[in-house]
Amino acid sequence: MAARVGRYTIRFDTPPAVMGYAAVAGKKEGEGPLADEFDRVQEDTTFGEKTWEKSESRLQNDTLNLALRKANITPNTVDIIFAGDLLNQCIGTSYGLRDFGIPFAGLFGACSTMAESLAMASVFVDNGCANVAAAITSSHFCSAERQYRYPLEYGGQRAPSAQWTVTGSGAAIVGKTGGGPFVREATFGRITDLGIKDAANMGAAMAPAAADTLKHYFDDTGASPDAFDLIVTGDLAQVGSELLRTLMQREGVTLGENYKDCGLLIFDREKQDVHAGGSGCGCAASVLCSHILNGMKNGRYKEVLFIATGALMSPVSVGQGESIPSVAHLLHLSAARA
Amino acid sequence: MAARVGRYTIRFDTPPAVMGYAAVAGKKEGEGPLADEFDRVQEDTTFGEKTWEKSESRLQNDTLNLALRKANITPNTVDIIFAGDLLNQCIGTSYGLRDFGIPFAGLFGACSTMAESLAMASVFVDNGCANVAAAITSSHFCSAERQYRYPLEYGGQRAPSAQWTVTGSGAAIVGKTGGGPFVREATFGRITDLGIKDAANMGAAMAPAAADTLKHYFDDTGASPDAFDLIVTGDLAQVGSELLRTLMQREGVTLGENYKDCGLLIFDREKQDVHAGGSGCGCAASVLCSHILNGMKNGRYKEVLFIATGALMSPVSVGQGESIPSVAHLLHLSAARA
């Protein structure tokens, strides 16, 4: 069973366990600081497929297979999978997962999908709705570029505030038992829109959602930032993470050295041409399912707040002059169950 | 708490209650057989907005407001809303719901979204993760046509097997208490793909998913079709629902007079030019949240199986020669709690 803590937060009486996880990343990500933490780096970013959309499906398929293997289970023991991606109608996911035969609950949370899916998996396991549940998402630089921006061949210039979509995927398998890490609490975010209209500045659009959810979590639980070894956002990157610090400061909450962003962890902005940093569903997912969960297993991190943020716009809504609504979902992960 | 029954089905020990629900439909739907069952029929299908996407957001916004009013609650008492739609990046939902301030879990289940969202809401309420949860989805003929097919002005010819996207939305509010109807069981479906590639024949693409999930439900529970006053699929329409009967017959299950399809209930195919019948997320949603739930409240239906089916393709995947994967989620609804 779970209990509600305050207005927005869910606390699991018996925290569900991450039984296994995997992250696969592309060539550029494999040249970054987390190269050694990924389960696999794919030098050929086509993944052997003829279109970028199929490449993304293959990426997601490979990642789930790896996570299942590491959890030492077969697909037919997974009761439900929560998954989604950024492509129109989430085809990275539906084609990537169709051969597994696992009951499928599709999500659209944009870049918040890793937190959303892992929270869902935890709720279903906690409640007995699933003995084992899985969570996965992905993004691919080339499929995202041509859908959201321009065909690669066009060679469009990027604004300094723009982010670089990560080619990567992360998958986590959740069960009642296992050595952990464990999912202790979850806070689902509200749609937040402060009126940002610049689609080349997603970090700024998403930071208010992260601030809203973080504030709710701290208010609900009474916890303070120094209770965590790591507070990590999904893909706010340089502009958005600085803005988050400012927004939280205004609320009286100081985010210190323990605050990081997956979009800044995955690339070396000094050496890699990624402008403000990484983005995409696969950014938070591949960093969580490598560096962060690895760090929790090897003792580097004991208590982690993982907040993945999603921008809920589309090229159509931007073209119609709309601002960019965002959402952020938070998970409190613990290395130990109690 | 919930228990797993067989391999695929979830049974709630204390079935969550539908506290309130509403359906809003467009002009054409208001000229069909269910006209008197909708809460509102909007003659002006622009809903007063300047673009069709914004019209769909307004439709979803209006429907949720009506459902909240009928449940006699305010948005700030809803702990989480599960929602999605068919538009790229689900913008019907994100813009439609952004002003409510309700924690938001975005779904992408295509036309299965009403069953998926209501199942999720039930799990969250059952587990104590939410005291009150909401489920909503929508579709709009004009936004769907131009995204999936052709601009309306083009006047493209439609195949006889094609379906007519419903302009409609349905919302349901779920809580621990209330007079019902009640959500007794849920079966999440697997992605099913028998190789259909004709995007003008969605019913045929989705029927195998409905058959897979229905068979799982009957196998898991030992129930037979005659235990239900109504077995209703979301939007298989004429071609798909005939195929479902055939597929189930092959499995030894006869679907009788009590089997209906929302895509056939919402339009009068004799009088309305809708080819094979209705489709779209809003088809199953608006029929569930009017005719079906009304019928359960007024004693017409006691036990209902509601199976919403979704085609998980996109214009891009069809253009790349892919077949159409589908999914179907099932709910067993009861007029009485026990």
Q: How far is B12 from chain A (nearest CA, A)?
A: 9
Q: What is the pLDDT of residue B158?
A: 86
Name the residue in chain B with its Cα closest to that of A6. B79
Contact criterion met (CB below 8 Å) for B37 and B29: no
Residues 9-28 of A with CB under 8 A from B: 10
Separation in Å, CA B266 to CA B32, B218, B313, B321: 6, 27, 24, 32
Q: Angle of helix A141-148 relative to helix A52-71, nearest 10 degrees?
A: 140
Q: Would you say the pTM of this structure is higher than 0.95?
A: yes
pLDDT(A179) > 90: no
Dmax (CA) of chain B: 53
Which parts of chain B sit beneath pLDDT 70? Answer: none
Distance CA B77, CA B161 (A): 44
Please answer yes or no on whether B322 and A95 come within 8 Å at the CB atom. yes
| Contact list, B105 vs chain A (CB under 8 Å) | 107, 109, 116, 120, 188, 329
Q: What is the pLDDT of residues A213-229, one digit of tens each?
A: 999 999 999 999 999 99
Peptide bond into B181 cis (omega under 30): yes
Distance CA B87, CA A244 (A): 30
Q: What is the pLDDT of residue B139?
A: 98
Q: What is the pLDDT of residue A151?
A: 83
Distance CA A338, CA B305 (A): 41
Q: What is the pLDDT of residue A156?
A: 84
Please answer yes or no on whether A54 and B320 come within 8 Å at the CB atom. yes
Q: Is the ipTM of this complex over 0.90?
A: yes
For an interface test with A, the pick among B317, B320, B329, B331 (most A C-beta atoms closer than 10 Å) comes out as B317
Report CA dihedral (B298, B300, B302, B305) to the nearest 10 degrees.
Answer: -120
Please answer yes or no on whether A128 and B3 come within 8 Å at the CB atom. yes
| Whether A108 contacts chain B with CB within 8 A | yes
| Whether B54 contacts chain A with CB within 8 A | yes
Contact criterion met (CB below 8 Å) for B279 and B47: no
pLDDT(A101) > 90: yes
Q: What is the pLDDT of residues A38-87, one digit of tens each?
A: 999 999 999 999 999 999 999 999 999 999 999 999 999 999 999 999 99
Name the residue in chain B with its Cα closest to that of A51. B320
Q: What is the pLDDT of residue B151?
A: 83
Q: For all residues of chain A together, what is the average pLDDT?
A: 96
Beta strands in A40-197 (DSSP E): 40-41, 80-85, 104-106, 132-139, 164-165, 168-175, 182-187
For an interface test with A, the pick among B108, B131, B202, B213 (most A C-beta atoms closer than 10 Å) comes out as B108
Q: What is the pLDDT of residue A71?
A: 97
| Whether B146 contacts chain A with CB within 8 A | no
- Return the SS3 of B196: coil
Q: What is the pLDDT of residue B309?
A: 98
Q: Across residues A267-276, what is the average pLDDT? A: 95
